[in-house]
Amino acid sequence: MPERLYSHAMQPNSKHWNILPPITPEADIALSAFPPVLRQVLFNRGFAADAEARAFLRAEPNFNTDPFQMTDMQTAVERIRFAIQNNEPVAIYGDYDVDGVTATALLVETLKRMGADVRGYIPNRFEEGYGLNNNALEELKADGVKLVITVDCGIRSPSEALHAQTLGLDLIISDHHHPDNENLPPALAVINPKQHGDMYPDKDLAGVGIAYKIAEALLGNEDKTTQIILNAMLDLVALGTVADLAPLVGENRVLVKKGLRQIRQTTRQGLFSLAAVSEIAIQKVNAGHIGFMLGPRLNAAGRLKEALASFELLTTTDVFRAGELAQQLDMQNRERQRITREMQTRAEEIALSDDPDAYLLFAADENFNSGVVGLAASRLTEKFYRPAIVASQGEEETRGSCRSIPEFHITDALDQCADLLVRHGGHAAAAGFTVRNENLPELVARLKAIAGEKLSGSDLKPTVTADAEVSLAEIRPELYEKALKYLEPTGYGNREASFVARNVKVRSSRIVGADGKHLKMSLEDEKGVAHDAIGFRLGDWHKSMPARVDILFTYEINEYNGRISYQLNLKDLKPAEK
């Protein structure tokens, strides 16, 4: 296969190291109350004044979070209250991923507490596809539903919104996906901070975050009782926000930090059971646990069958039912992992045999599971650092899932091909679409041409960023306890503090993990102190490990069998410069 595509993916020294510039003298003085390393980290995140830095570390909002700033919020609240007062049946129509399921659960629980006749509706990925569909609307109407509220979907469903009108259904759309501002759905209310003219200052809320703002607007947060109800929903907000990779900045950071606190003391039976099958101590859950352990299990139901099991898990009060559902999701997640591995291998073969020099990788197959195509696309993007599309081909239509890199806005590219698509939507880095099979060849050709025009001449390698170059001798447990832990929750949009250390002595290295892809090391600093280190997917280094290395790493707690230690988490390494 051509070397150009494989070179950066297969060779160790393939990433750009971006070491951020040192703090300015003025900011260093302004942040003098903080430890030196934390000053640099705060400065790198845009905080150069003491008050701003403290607000960030405490996860306090520094802007007006009144939900009524959102366009159409007042209209939505009035209509929902009317439905409650008149005992009109209401349906919360969600998506089948964690964001959609948690948003559905949140509004169903909130409206039930307000006395509403409310039910959740989550479409089947395989039979109904993403978003609003006319058959579901007709079924809900036939069941007596008067008001439908979407969460995490609907912004790209103008024809379905029009159909709801013809049925006599009132429709409130709440969504966080990128809108087509020239063709917003004709709903009673459209709540999406990304729409033109919306005054809400934070545009990064996940679908469940917007559902929470609706709950906040409905309940108010002035008295103690309503605040207790809202706080009880924050565990759902944290789950959906982290799992959907919404950036952990601004209000998301505020909500997730509070939500993690709520998870650790949750009375939600399903979360206890889910943490148990995930082998997590629930009182110590962090954002990483959501992203890598809880979120994938909640997503597994919607990827392989239907998401109702996840919805029921999050809303049931039956301890035995919660245990059954958690076990079911755990087994489905194991099956999902197996399918993903097989699909990634096949998708790679198709994409590279079809067009190995393409700037956009594309693979479609009639045997691909449409619930897992997004994960396979993610793996291709991660391995080859190219936008990637993996699609499940049906008899008449093909459903594709897209993942991209910072240099290429995938939803913008799909917008340029809208005339070929049945439907599409998403974000800069992830999107989905449905296309009729007769239009698929032209779609692929056009997307590859757009990618070629945008990315041609770019040095396509992932960039890893470090906050500072340090001596490894500075990396001690007290640095984590007195500084780094206050940056949490960390994740997408609020990365962990990361550092570069040069000319580090390698005491030992070995490969670990079932497939031998990970690297376990012992490194020695200038004072002769040993540091444990783990490098996920860096196992290839073991074959030719230099005696001394430059490392780019984060510093973290490692808890195993009740024993707490600290370790370096290696993001990349290079032979030390002589």
> Quick one: which of 188, 159, 173, 176 has its CA closest to 78?
188
Residue 464 three-state SS:
strand
Record: fold of 67-222: inorganic pyrophosphatase (n-terminal core) (3.90.1640)
pLDDT score of 477 more than 70:
yes
Q: How confident is the model at residue 188 (pLDDT cuts 50, 70, 90)?
A: very high
**Single-letter code of the amino acid located at 568:** L
How many Å apart are CA 368 and CA 362, to the nearest integer? 13
How many Å apart are CA 92 and CA 108, to the nearest integer? 7
Q: How confident is the model at residue 494 (pLDDT cuts 50, 70, 90)?
A: very high
Q: How confident is the model at residue 516 (pLDDT cuts 50, 70, 90)?
A: confident
Q: How many Å from the N-terminal Cα to the C-terminal Cα in the chain?
A: 34
The per-residue pLDDT for 489 is 96
Per-residue DSSP letter, 150: E
Region(s) of the chain under CATH 2.40.50.460: 12-20+463-575
If DSSP states are collapsed to H, E and C, what string results for 363-388? Answer: EEECCCCCCCHHHHHHHHHHHHCCCE
How many Å apart are CA 553 and CA 20, to the nearest integer? 14
1-10, 53-62, 423-432, 495-504: range with lowest mean pLDDT = 1-10
How many Å apart are CA 314 and CA 312, to the nearest integer? 5
Walk across the sheet containing 118-121 and list its strands. Answer: 118-121, 90-93, 147-151, 170-174, 189-191
| Share of residues in the chain with pLDDT > 90 (%) | 86
pLDDT score of 562 more than 90:
no
How many Å apart are CA 12 and CA 575, to the nearest integer? 10
Q: How confident is the model at residue 192 (pLDDT cuts 50, 70, 90)?
A: very high
4-13, 223-232, 501-510: range with lowest mean pLDDT = 4-13
The per-residue pLDDT for 12 is 40
What is the CATH code of the structural domain delimited by 12-20+463-575?
A: 2.40.50.460
Region(s) of the chain under CATH 3.10.310.30: 355-455
The residue behind tokens 């290079």 is: 574
pLDDT score of 322 more than 80:
yes
Q: How many CB atoms lie within 10 A of CB 370?
A: 21
Q: What is the signed CA dihedral for 177, 183, 185, 189, rounded to 10 degrees?
A: 80
Q: How confident is the model at residue 355 (pLDDT cuts 50, 70, 90)?
A: confident
Q: How many CB atoms lie within 10 A of CB 463?
A: 11
pLDDT digits (tens, 9 = 90+) for 261-317: 999 999 999 999 999 999 999 999 999 999 999 999 999 998 888 889 999 999 999
Residue 534 three-state SS:
strand
pLDDT score of 491 more than 60:
yes
How many Å apart are CA 131 and CA 128, to the nearest integer? 8
Record: fold of 355-455: Diaminopimelate Epimerase; Chain A, domain 1 (3.10.310)
| Share of residues in the chain with pLDDT > 70 (%) | 97
Strands (E), 441-527: 463-466, 468-469, 498-512, 518-524
Q: Which residue intervals of 428-499 are DSSP H helices?
A: 440-455, 477-482
The per-residue pLDDT for 478 is 95
The per-residue pLDDT for 560 is 76
Report whether 180 contacts 196 (CB < 8 A): no
Q: Which residue intervals of 265-318 are DSSP H helices?
A: 269-277, 287-289, 295-304, 308-315
How many Å apart are CA 314 and CA 117, to the nearest integer? 19
pLDDT digits (tens, 9 = 90+) for 196-235: 999 999 999 999 999 999 999 999 866 888 999 999 999 9
Q: How confident is the model at residue 13 (pLDDT cuts 50, 70, 90)?
A: very low
Residue 435 three-state SS:
strand
Q: Which residues contact 115 (CB under 8 A, 6 or more apart)?
A: 84
Question: Where is pLDDT greater, at 7 or 90?
Answer: 90
Report whether 203 contacts 54 (CB < 8 A): no
pLDDT score of 326 more than 90:
yes
**Single-letter code of the amino acid located at 271:** L
The per-residue pLDDT for 364 is 97
pLDDT score of 377 more than 90:
yes
Q: How many CB atoms lie within 10 A of CB 396?
A: 9
- The kind and range of the H/E element at 428 are none
pLDDT score of 525 more than 50:
yes
The stretch 447-462 carries a mean pLDDT of 93
Report whether 192 contacts 179 (CB < 8 A): yes
**Single-letter code of the amino acid located at 146:** K
The per-residue pLDDT for 4 is 38
The per-residue pLDDT for 2 is 36
Q: Give the mean pLDDT of the chain.
A: 93
The per-residue pLDDT for 10 is 33
Specify the pTM.
Answer: 0.89
The stretch 338-362 carries a mean pLDDT of 92
For residue 508, CA distances in Å to 155, 519, 550, 552 come to: 54, 10, 15, 18
16-20, 263-267, 426-430, 531-535: range with lowest mean pLDDT = 426-430
